[in-house]
C-alpha cells in the first residue's frame, strides 16, 4: 500500500467508519463494504504536499471488463463522482458518491494524480471494496421506507421457517447468518458461477445493477439442477451420501461447504432449506427478503389449475406419467423491489421459489413474480405468475377408477389449496398471516372475478349431493404413542343407508410421497336415517414407527361407496405427529470473547432405543457448527445431557440453535436466546 517514490504513501479506506454508516459493520470491520447511493470517504496519505496545479482522478474496475471513471464534479443519475473535502500536508480526505443504480460487486479503486495537461504524476495501488444494494436509499429499486422492516428483512440474522400443516403449524428457528465471516464473498461467488456470468461476464456484470436479474439468478443458483448451484434436492429418504435436510439449522454451513468444495453441490436440501439459503444470500446482497410458507401447496404439473389424484377401489394410486401433488407445506421467499420492467402497480413483494419444481425459460427457477399479479389473476406477468397462482388456488380433485376402467369423481375441493400463508412477523418470533396478499376472501365477488380472468372455472361436484356425508377427526397425535382416528359417516337423508367404508393410513412425506402403509380396514356399514356411524381406527406405533418419514406425517384416506348408487365420497387428512423439544440452557455472562457453557437435555419419547444420536449446534455471532455425539444409546424414556463451550464473537440478540438426529428419531430441535454485551 505504501509508495515512497511519489506523493501517495497509502490509502485509508476508513472501513470502521464507513461500514458503520452503511450498516455493514457486522460483516467486516477490516474491509470496505458499502451500499450504493450513499457516500463513503477515504483518506489519501501523502509523503509530500501535492504539487501546485495537480488534479485527482478516481478509476473503478468491476469484473474483467468494466472500467468506470469517477467524475470530480457532481454527475447525473447513474454516474459516480467524488469531491475533495480538504487537504493537509500529510493527507487528503475524499468523499465518493455512488449512483443508486450502480451494479453491485467487488470493485477495485485507483486514485490518480495528474498534471493539468493529463500526465499521471502518481497513483495508488488498487484498493478493493464491495458494493451492495441499498434499501435505505430512496433512489434504489429495493428501497423500503419502514425502518422496522429493514431491521427484520435485511439485518436480522435469525428467523423462523414455518412447517407442519395448515391446522397444526410448527415453527422452525433458522440461522440465516448473512453477516457471518466470509458469507458476502460466497454470495458473489454464487453470482460468478451462474451460467450467464460464465458465458458472458461483461453483460452479467452490467445486469447486476438490477435486483430482478440478481434475484432470479440467485433463485436458479440456490438449487444445483442446471448449474454449479449450491444445494442438491432429495426427497426419497436416502441421504447417506450427504446430510439429511432435516439436520440443517441454518444456511452458513451449507454456503461454506459449497465454497470450500470449489462450487460443488451440497447434499441435501428440501424446500425450507432452499428458502433459508436464498433468504441469506438475498439479505446479504442488500435485497429485503423474507421466507414464506404456503400450506396445502399445489404442484400442478400440467397447468390446468387442478391437482388430480386418481385411485382404484383399493385406494392405490393409478396415476400415470408426472403426478400432480399437494405439498403439506411449501416454502419460498419474497423479496421487495420495484418492477421497472413491468407496467405500473407491480412494485413491492415478489415471490421467488428456489426449490426445483418446474423449468422457467429452460431453467429450474421461479420468479420474481409480483404477489399482486397472483392476487389479481394476471397470469401473463413475468415471471411464472401462472405457476405461483396454481400453488395457492388450484382445485383438488379425487377420482376413482372402477374395474371397468371408468373414472368417477369422488371428491372436489376449491378451498383446500393455499391456506394460512405465513411469514415471521417484523415485531417478534410469531407468525404473520399474509394469505390476503395472494388471494381474495373465498366466496367473494373479487375471487370469482379473478378466477374468470385466470381462466379457472368456479368448480362444482358432479351431480346432486347424496344423503351420506363423510368426515375424519383425530385428537393431537404424539410421536411414539398410539392414537385414535375417528371416521364418521353421517346420514342426512330420510331412510337408512347401506355403504362400504374403506379406511387406510400411510406414512408420507410433507410433499405427498408414500413411505409405507400403516393400517387398512374395509367394512360394510348401515347408517340409520338422521344418525351417524363412527368407525374408530387405532394407529399403533408398532405399525407406523417403522415406516414414518423424517417429516413425521400420517395420511388417513377414507372412501365411502353407497350400495345401489354410484355415489362416491373420498376424504383425506394429514396428521402431523407432535415432536419433543430439546431443552437448552446457557450458563455464564454473555460477553463478547468470554467463554459460555451450554447444556442440552433430551428425553427419548419413543418406546424403542435410539442409536447413533448426534447433536448439531450453531448460532450467528455465537459459534460455528459443532457436532456432539450422544453418550451412547438412548433407551425408551431415558434422559441424556451433553454440554459444549463457545465464545460469542459479536454483540446483540443471539440465538443458539440445536438439532438432534438418530436412527429412529430425527428433526428434534431446541433454541436458546441470549443477549451478548460488548467487552
**Model pLDDT, residue 679:** 87
> For residue 554, what are the contacts with CB-CB under 8 A and spacing of at least 6?
477, 505, 506, 507, 508, 518, 539, 544, 548, 574, 575, 577
Buried b (16+ CB within 10 A) or exposed e, 257-294: bbbeeebebbbbbbbbbbbbbbbbbbbbbbbbbbbbbb
DSSP string for 419-453: EEEEEE-TTSSSEEE-HHHH-PPTT-HHHHHHHHH
Computed on alpha carbons and rounded to an integer, the radius of gyration of the chain in Å comes to 29
Catalytic residues: 271, 330, 353
**Model pLDDT, residue 322:** 64
Task: Label each residue of 302-313 as H, E or C.
Answer: CCCCEEEEEEEC
Judge whether 216 and 209 are in contact, CB under 8 Å.
Answer: no
**Model pLDDT, residue 462:** 52
Judge whether 243 and 250 are in contact, CB under 8 Å.
Answer: no
**Model pLDDT, residue 3:** 45
**Model pLDDT, residue 428:** 95
Residues of the chain with pLDDT under 50: 1-4
CA-based torsion, 665, 666, 667, 673: positive or negative: positive
Judge whether 223 and 356 are in contact, CB under 8 Å.
Answer: yes
pTM, two decimal places = 0.94
**Model pLDDT, residue 451:** 85
Amino acid at each position: 500500500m505504501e509508495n515512497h517514490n511519489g506523493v501517495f504513501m497509502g490509502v485509508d479506506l476508513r472501513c470502521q467508519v464507513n461500514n458503520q454508516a452503511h450498516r455493514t459493520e457486522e460483516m467486516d470491520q477490516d474491509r470496505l463494504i458499502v451500499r450504493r447511493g450513499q457516500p463513503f470517504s477515504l483518506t489519501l496519505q501523502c509523503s509530500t504536499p501535492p504539487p501546485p496545479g495537480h488534479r485527482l482522478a478516481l478509476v473503478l474496475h468491476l469484473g474483467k471488463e468494466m472500467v468506470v471513471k469517477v467524475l470530480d464534479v457532481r454527475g447525473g443519475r447513474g454516474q459516480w463522482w467524488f469531491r475533495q473535502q480538504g487537504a493537509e500536508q500529510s493527507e487528503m480526505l475524499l468523499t465518493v458518491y455512488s449512483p443508486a443504480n450502480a451494479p453491485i460487486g467487488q470493485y477495485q479503486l485507483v486514485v490518480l494524480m495528474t498534471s493539468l495537461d493529463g500526465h499521471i504524476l502518481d497513483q495508488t495501488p488498487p484498493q478493493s471494496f464491495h458494493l451492495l444494494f441499498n434499501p435505505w436509499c430512496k433512489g434504489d429499486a429495493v428501497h423500503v421506507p419502514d425502518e422496522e422492516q429493514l431491521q427484520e428483512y435485511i439485518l436480522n440474522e435469525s428467523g423462523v421457517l414455518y412447517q407442519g400443516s395448515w391446522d397444526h403449524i410448527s415453527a422452525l428457528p433458522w440461522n440465516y447468518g448473512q453477516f457471518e465471516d466470509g458469507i458476502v464473498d460466497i454470495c458473489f461467488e454464487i453470482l460468478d458461477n451462474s451460467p450467464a456470468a460464465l458465458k458472458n461476464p461483461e453483460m452479467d456484470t452490467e445486469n447486476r445493477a438490477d435486483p430482478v436479474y440478481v434475484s432470479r439468478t440467485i433463485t436458479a443458483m440456490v438449487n444445483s439442477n442446471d448449474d454449479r448451484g449450491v444445494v442438491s434436492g432429495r426427497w426419497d429418504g436416502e441421504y447417506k451420501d450427504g446430510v439429511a435436510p432435516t439436520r440443517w439449522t441454518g444456511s452458513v454451513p451449507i454456503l461454506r461447504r459449497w465454497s470450500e468444495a470449489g462450487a460443488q453441490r451440497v447434499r441435501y436440501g428440501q424446500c425450507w432449506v432452499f428458502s433459508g439459503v436464498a433468504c441469506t444470500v438475498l439479505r446479504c446482497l442488500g435485497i429485503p427478503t423474507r421466507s414464506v410458507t404456503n400450506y396445502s401447496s399445489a404442484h400442478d404439473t400440467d397447468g390446468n389449475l387442478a391437482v388430480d389424484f386418481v385411485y382404484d377401489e383399493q385406494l392405490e394410486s393409478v396415476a400415470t406419467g408426472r403426478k400432480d401433488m399437494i405439498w403439506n407445506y411449501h416454502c419460498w421467499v419474497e423479496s421487495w423491489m420495484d418492477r421497472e420492467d413491468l407496467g405500473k402497480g407491480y412494485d413491492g413483494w415478489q415471490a421467488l421459489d428456489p426449490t426445483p419444481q418446474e423449468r422457467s425459460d429452460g431453467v429450474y427457477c421461479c420468479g420474481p413474480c409480483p404477489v399482486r399479479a397472483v392476487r389479481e389473476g394476471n397470469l401473463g406477468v413475468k415471471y411464472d405468475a401462472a405457476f405461483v397462482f396454481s400453488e395457492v388456488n388450484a382445485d383438488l380433485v379425487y377420482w376413482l377408477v372402477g374395474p371397468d376402467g371408468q373414472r368417477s369423481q369422488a371428491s372436489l375441493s376449491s378451498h383446500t389449496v393455499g391456506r394460512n400463508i405465513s411469514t415471521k412477523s417484523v415485531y417478534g418470533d410469531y407468525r404473520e398471516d399474509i394469505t390476503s396478499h395472494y388471494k381474495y376472501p373465498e366466496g367473494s365477488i373479487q375471487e370469482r372475478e379473478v378466477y374468470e380472468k385466470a381462466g379457472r372455472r368456479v368448480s362444482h361436484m358432479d351431480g346432486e349431493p347424496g344423503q351420506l356425508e363423510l368426515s375424519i377427526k383425530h385428537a393431537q397425535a404424539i410421536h411414539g404413542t398410539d392414537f385414535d382416528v375417528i371416521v364418521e359417516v353421517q346420514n342426512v337423508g330420510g331412510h337408512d343407508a347401506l355403504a362400504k367404508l374403506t379406511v387406510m393410513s400411510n406414512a408420507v412425506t410433507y410433499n405427498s410421497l408414500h413411505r409405507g402403509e400403516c393400517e387398512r380396514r374395509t367394512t360394510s356399514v348401515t347408517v340409520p336415517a338422521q344418525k351417524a356411524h363412527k368407525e374408530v381406527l387405532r394407529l399403533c406405533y408398532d405399525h407406523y414407527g417403522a415406516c414414518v418419514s423424517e417429516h413425521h406425517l400420517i395420511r388417513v384416506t377414507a372412501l365411502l361407496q353407497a350400495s345401489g348408487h354410484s355415489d362416491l365420497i373420498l376424504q383425506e387428512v394429514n396428521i402431523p405427529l407432535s415432536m419433543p423439544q430439546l431443552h437448552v440452557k446457557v450458563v455464564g455472562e454473555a460477553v463478547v470473547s468470554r467463554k459460555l457453557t451450554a447444556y442440552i437435555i433430551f428425553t427419548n419419547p419413543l418406546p424403542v432405543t435410539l442409536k447413533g444420536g448426534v447433536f448439531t449446534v450453531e448460532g450467528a455471532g455465537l459459534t460455528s457448527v459443532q457436532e456432539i455425539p450422544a453418550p451412547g444409546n438412548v433407551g425408551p424414556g431415558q434422559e441424556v445431557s451433553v454440554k459444549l463451550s463457545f465464545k460469542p464473537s459479536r454483540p446483540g440478540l443471539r440465538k443458539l440453535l440445536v438439532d438432534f438426529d438418530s436412527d429412529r428419531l430425527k428433526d428434534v430441535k431446541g433454541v436458546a436466546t441470549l443477549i451478548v454485551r460488548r467487552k
